[in-house]
Amino acid sequence: MTTTSRRIAALLLGTVVATTNLSAQQSAELRGPSEAADVLDSIDALRRLHHPGSGPKSTLWDAWLPTPNLWPAGDDHEARVAAWQRALASRRLDPQGRVATHQHPSIAHPEGWPFPFWNQGAGSFGWHFSFAGTVGPPWRKATTDDATGFHLDGLESLGIEPDLGWRLRVTGDSPTITTPLPAHADGFQAPFLQLRARLPENRRPLIEVRWTSGTSSTLHTRRFEPARRDGLDAPYFVLPLHDADAWASRRITSLALRFPHAVPGDELVVRAVFSQYDTRHNVNAQAFADGVVAVASWSGDLAFLRDQAPRVRRALSWFLDEHRVHELGFVRTTWQGHDGRPGFTVHPDGSKTLHPGHGIGNDFWDLLPFGADDCYATLRLHGSLRRWADVERAIARHPEWRIGAPPAVLRSAAIEALLARMRRAADRRFWNPETGRFVACVDSDGTPHDYGFTFVNLEAIHDGVASTPRARSIVEWVAGLRTVAGDTSTGPDIYRYRFGPRSTTLRNVGWYGWYWHGPESLPFGGQVQDGGAVLGFAYHDLMARLRVLGPDDAWQRLTEIATWFREVQDAGGYRAYYHGSREGTLQGGGQAGGLGMDHEFFESALVPQIVIEGFLGLRAGLDELALEPRLPKALSWLEVAGIHWQDQVLTLRVDRATIHVTREIGGARAIPLRVGGEPVVVPADAPDAHFLR
């Protein structure tokens, strides 16, 4: 970019102009030649269906939803930007930089996924004296507990109230509750304790955990002064014990809670105390970083970026250290239970031995035990670091933004060097030469797991991990151009559900967490994570085909999706279409099934992005818009109206020879573009501009 272009870009980002006067004519729309209009109309209808639900959700979707939600203009655009900024600003980071999951509440780890929870195990334990402020069944046990078997020292019981909990009055110094711990209590299955209690106000929330373990009578003690977490009717406290040698992987023989801060006359209310599995995810830092990049780039709000850049840097720096990425070149997850091993063993006679505590998931695919050396987390990190490197380069170009320099490991040059190492390491560790695709992970026993994970492999292309030869091998397998020996689904059957490939192509009845130990009860394709399909991830398939097989192949695949979606609309929607007369069952809204496209499958909004990011080749940056059009033969021209980038609303029209930019709304500012890698500028005050491709 020239010096003049840099100056124009800086001026552009100086202020975000509110555009609340948008008319229906300025809302988003996909347009093309008449012979392609049916396809584009259908895909635009798909976009409009899912756009209203593409706002902020839990952290997991920060990677996927901001761009589909924010590029379309509309008179609610300012509110959409504000909602995303609030959501990302409120993502909880612990002091080290670990990002919380923000999924719906349960009795699992409050910073993690809502299952597995303690009463799904064999060596976990817990007591609930009230279910007030607690998620309902099946996300918890069915009945409350009484105080039978508990021993009180320096405390007097005032009774259990169903809407409150167990009321206790302090009668002596250092009051202590000794639990009736079950004989099967296992420290490996209890890496955390959670205490839900009202402790005396205006006192330090000091909690002492006392226990014995194994065959020893030695009393072990650990003190906590945890932060209060007030997301429930009663504050709750998370007490980590997994790093105590006398706790982890030991049989726990006694357990007591002591409250050194309390004095006679104080009252305590204990709602629940229970063990927790470590259900945290190893893809949260990546998703959070991606969300901040997208929202900052589309909104142009420098104050938002100034606030969030230090948090993203902290999250990514912590992640690189925690998962030994600098050392290994890939993500290694050593959290308790995240070992990549299956949660059960299937014996030759069909019987099973469960291994509770093993096979805990790490990501969207919550039944599958991604972990240990984790390919999926690695490729997601690679993509996020690529995008964050662009942010750091823009920050370095613009000292007037007043965003400080990053730590040395996150300078753009350092990131680029790490990315090169990650690609080499991922290729060595995760590529399966026998099947010609990436595995899901290599577990802590050194066993790779390959069930034909199409989503892993297609995202490896999207996130830049797959080299050109690897990408071709992947796409040829998914597209049915080559057959992997032994796979359950090959050739055209991979697209049995039409809108996208199956999530896996090899039947999996043995590699899950222990909490899903009867997968054979459903047919292949009857479960989303075993031969089923998720609509949203057809986006990665389309983008991979565009890169490897070209725009005509991607267009043909999109045409098939459009035809399927028109049939869905004519039938009255997804639920009416899959009502039983057609193959395929829908998951969502509490219903199990093999296809994911509505209810909690918010990422369905991704599919129309093939038009925006693929054929149009549009990418929003902090200080420029980049265009790399790749039109299929079916599109002699392509126009996308109502693109809301920062303080501008634009219509972009691309044909074989030119790019036409029309400014629908915006201030008198130059618009910096990068077309085919070359910088060009829409002059200030110009209503439109033409550029040769």
Q: What is the pLDDT of residue 234?
A: 64
Backbone angles phi, psi at 408, to 5 degrees: -55, -35
Percent of the chain with pLDDT over 90: 88
Question: Does residue 230 register a pLDDT over 80?
Answer: no
Q: How many CB atoms lie within 10 A of CB 289?
A: 28
Query: 35, 104, 113, 55: which is closest to 367 by C-alpha?
Result: 113
In tens, the pLDDT along 332-374 reads: 999 999 999 999 999 999 999 999 999 999 999 999 999 999 9
Backbone angles phi, psi at 679, to 5 degrees: -75, 135
Read off the pLDDT band of 227 (50, 70, 90): confident
Read off the pLDDT band of 667 (50, 70, 90): low
> Quick one: tokens of 155?
């405390």
DSSP 3-state assignment of 569? helix
Q: What is the pLDDT of residue 392?
A: 98
Question: Does residue 17 register a pLDDT over 50?
Answer: no
Q: What is the pLDDT of residue 665?
A: 86
CB-based burial label for 662 (10 Å; 0-12, 13-18, 19+): middle
List of domains in the chain:
121-276 (2.60.120), 281-601 (1.50.10)
Q: Return the biggest CA–CA distance within the chain.
A: 85
Token pair 């496209």: residue: 597
Percent of the chain with pLDDT over 70: 95
Q: Is the peptide bond before 116 cis (omega within 30 degrees of 0)?
A: yes
Q: Which residue has the higher pLDDT, 317 or 228?
A: 317
Mean pLDDT of 37-66: 97
Question: Does residue 8 register a pLDDT over 80?
Answer: no
Residues 6+ apart with CB under 8 A from 424: 329
Q: Where are the alpha helices (DSSP H) in 463-621?
A: 468-478, 538-548, 551-571, 574-577, 609
> Quick one: tokens of 665?
């709304």
Token pair 């292949």: residue: 524
In tens, the pLDDT along 427-458 reads: 999 999 999 999 999 999 999 999 999 999 99
Mean pLDDT of 97-101: 96
Question: Does residue 296 register a pLDDT over 80?
Answer: yes
Lowest-confidence range among 29-33, 35-39, 587-591, 658-662?
587-591
* Mean pLDDT over each residue of the chain, to the nearest integer: 93
d(CA 564, CA 569): 9
Q: Are 429 and 476 in contact (CB under 8 A)?
A: no
Question: Does residue 13 register a pLDDT over 60?
Answer: no
Cα of 499 vs its chain's centroid, Å: 22
Q: What is the pLDDT of residue 253?
A: 98
Q: What is the pLDDT of residue 666?
A: 78
Read off the pLDDT band of 5 (50, 70, 90): very low
Reported pTM: 0.95
Q: What is the pLDDT of residue 122?
A: 93
d(CA 129, CA 141): 12
Q: What is the pLDDT of residue 6?
A: 28
What are the counts of helices (DSSP H) followed by strands (DSSP E) for the chain? 15, 31
- Distances in whole angstroms, Cα of residue 538 to Cα of each of 504, 535, 604: 13, 6, 9
Mean pLDDT of 161-179: 96
Read off the pLDDT band of 18 (50, 70, 90): very low
Tell how strand 671-675 and strand 678-682 pair up: antiparallel
In tens, the pLDDT along 553-577 reads: 999 999 999 999 999 999 999 999 9
Mean pLDDT of 405-418: 98
Read off the pLDDT band of 1 (50, 70, 90): very low
Tell how strand 220-224 and strand 207-213 pair up: antiparallel
Cα of 231 vs its chain's centroid, Å: 21
In tens, the pLDDT along 114-152 reads: 999 999 999 999 999 999 989 999 889 999 999 999 999
Token pair 């817990």: residue: 126
Token pair 């999250």: residue: 315
